[in-house]
Amino acid sequence: MQTLSGEHIAAWLESAAEVLEREKGFLTELDAAIGDSDHGVNMARGFAAVRDRLGRLDRGDVGALLREVGMTLLSTVGGASGPLYGTLFRDAGQRVAGAAALDLPALAGCLEAGLEGVRRRGKASPGDKTMVDALVPAVDALKAALSAPGAADGAALRDALGRAADAARAGVEATVPLIARKGRASYLGERSAGHQDPGATSCWLLLRSLAATAGA
């Protein structure tokens, strides 16, 4: 697979909705320790709404598809995650407006634009114990893949997404000892250390699902 088409993106979103429903309890458990105990429910609800809308969305324009996903998440997820995930998808879609499919450079640029939007909206940096701690290493892994030998090969996109998902997982694990500096968890101060960040975890789950879709 050299590109991700709108059909691939739709298949990923279908899979992501299933994953988030399945992992809803786990995400809620993580959020109960340092947040409002609603992250799992909110994410599952938001992506269920995305799945329900997929049949009515144009898959010929990947940028428009991602923007519509962002708007759906903004209106359905709720909590702190709704604006952040909505911005992630909306800004990613704006970067690739009009694209019928995404090759590796377009995908890297797309995700980087989404990350920039999240950082701008949430005012978060790496090390703040947020979803940014999963997104930054994932974007870095995709950008590194651009200069790797065989970057134009069909396997390159699949392999790059696998490495991005692995990097995101490492970023998630690195949130455990951190003291939260943003969001509800920051109110706990040092008591937030020792807990895995739920937002970073849901971000990793989405990237893992995308990598699985590319490898199918």
Out of 1.25.40.340, 3.90.870.30, 1.10.10.10, 3.40.50.360, the CATH code matching 4-215 is: 1.25.40.340
pLDDT by residue (tens digit) across 169-210?
A: 999 999 999 999 988 898 899 999 999 999 999 999 999 999
- How far apart, in whole angstroms, are the C-alpha atoms of residue 128 and residue 182? 6
pLDDT by residue (tens digit) across 38-71?
A: 999 999 999 999 999 999 998 999 999 999 999 9
- How far apart, in whole angstroms, are the C-alpha atoms of residue 69 and residue 49? 9
pLDDT on residue 152: 58
- How far apart, in whole angstroms, are the C-alpha atoms of residue 64 and residue 82? 19
pLDDT on residue 184: 84
Q: Are 214 and 161 in contact (CB under 8 A)?
A: yes
Both tokens assigned to 157: 């996109």
- How far apart, in whole angstroms, are the C-alpha atoms of residue 216 and residue 210? 10
Strand, coil or helix: what is 4? strand
